Amino acid sequence: MSPVLEQKVELKLVGTEDSTDLNKKSVYDTNDLNLWYGDTHALKDINLSIYEKEVTAIIGPSGCGKSTFIKTLNRMVELVPSVRTSGNITYKDKNILDKSFKVEDLRTRVGMVFQKPNPFPKSIYDNIAYGPKIHGIRNKKILDEIVEQSLRRASIWDEVKDRLHENAYGLSGGQQQRLCIARCLAIEPEVILMDEPTSSLDPKSTLRIEELVQDLKKEYSIIIVTHNMQQAARISDKTAFFLHGEVIEFDKTDTIFNNPVDSRTEDYISGRFG
Ligand SMILES: Nc1ncnc2c1ncn2[C@@H]1O[C@H](COP(=O)(O)OP(=O)(O)OP(=O)(O)O)[C@@H](O)[C@H]1O
């Protein structure tokens, strides 16, 4: 039996609450979404609903389209010139792939945290105040409040409150990643996209981020790409298994890890490939 399956009892103990879709609204619905990079067909007929105030994990082997999928959700993927899409992505009833949809509207509602922490070469304070300032907030008292609240929410306030005006590069990797999460929270998003946010962190920092994700889902919808099966099992409510650009299976995380329908899902989570 795989290490992941062996740990299912423990995973259930630390896992997510049961949630019924009946009471939840979807934030994103993709409808026959396809994406090509030139001739490479990277996403194939993706039909997924992402529900509010849940953690949705995207898993699958290298090159299966995980990063492409989440970068499509904030239209960042369009920065690649050869990209072409078909189908729809509905975000709160609007098709964000529609030419008339303003991408700036999405950027204030959907924050993103990357694989490697990427603080700006500025002070801790200015990293957080940057987004709100761009959105026109100039009042120092209000900015101070946003900075403190965002850092508290990202569970890093106590570690940085006496060094707010020092350069963010002086923080450890794990602290930098929590700073980046705080920076993302400062714009008050509705959704947080996370692309392997702990892959460059040590186990202790990874655990802190996982605890933070569990806490943040009370207020935000979170979509996390991860190569770490145990992480997906620990922190997500739903899991989508991608393979060769297709969604093979999407269900409650408990079902995906303990009772998958498709043999390819079972083979992947059991470590037989990938
Ligand atoms: N900028 C790009 N230009 C051309 N092809 C790309 C580009 N980015 C990704 N691809 C291709 O699209 C497919 C999906 O890549 P993607 O990065 O989304 O996979 P992934 O599942 O996130 O992989 P990994 O786990 O290794 O990060 C791959 O075949 C990849 O080579």
Per-residue pLDDT at 93: 87
Per-residue pLDDT at 139: 97
DSSP 198: T
Pairing of strands 246-252, 26-37: unpaired
Strand partners, 225: 58, 195
| 8 Å CB contact between 166 and 124 | yes
Whose CA is closest to atom 27 on ligand 1? 62
For residue 171, the SS3 value is coil
Q: Quick one: the chain helix, strand, coil %, rounded to 5?
A: 40, 25, 35
Strand partners, 101: none
62 pocket-lining for ligand 1 (C-beta < 6 Å): yes
Neighbour-count burial for 191-230, b at 16+ CB within 10 Å, e otherwise: bbbbbbbbebbeeebbebbbebbbebbeebbbbbbbebbe
Per-residue pLDDT at 21: 63
The values of phi and psi at residue 219, to 5°, are -115, -20
Q: What is the pTM of this model?
A: 0.90
The values of phi and psi at residue 260, to 5°, are -65, 150
| 8 Å CB contact between 238 and 251 | yes
What whole-number distance in Å separates Cα of residue 223 and Cα of residue 21?
16
The alpha carbons of the chain give a radius of gyration, in whole angstroms, of: 19
Whose CA is closest to atom 30 on ligand 1? 63
| 8 Å CB contact between 239 and 253 | yes
Atom of ligand 1 nearest to the CA of 69: 18
Q: Where are the alpha helices (DSSP H) in 65-102?
A: 66-73
84 pocket-lining for ligand 1 (C-beta < 6 Å): no
22 — pLDDT class (breaks 50, 70, 90) = low
Q: So what's the architecture of 3-13+25-269 in CATH?
A: 3-Layer(aba) Sandwich (3.40)
Give the count of beta carbons closer than 10 Å to the beta carbon of residue 17: 8
CA of 68 to the centre of ligand 1 (A): 6
Per-residue pLDDT at 211: 95
Per-residue pLDDT tens over the stretch 185-200: 999 999 999 999 999 8
Whose CA is closest to atom 12 on ligand 1? 42
CA of 245 to the centre of ligand 1 (A): 9
| 8 Å CB contact between 168 and 160 | no
What whole-number distance in Å separates Cα of residue 60 and Cα of residue 126?
36
Lowest mean pLDDT among 62-71, 99-108, 171-180, 259-268: 99-108
Whose CA is closest to atom 28 on ligand 1? 63
Average pLDDT, the chain: 91
23 — pLDDT class (breaks 50, 70, 90) = confident
Q: Where are the alpha helices (DSSP H) in 34-193?
A: 66-73, 103-109, 124-134, 140-153, 157-160, 173-185
259 pocket-lining for ligand 1 (C-beta < 6 Å): no
Per-residue pLDDT tens over the stretch 107-139: 889 999 999 999 999 999 999 999 999 989 999
- For residue 18, give the nearest of 253, 261, 259 by alpha carbon: 253
Whose CA is closest to atom 25 on ligand 1? 62
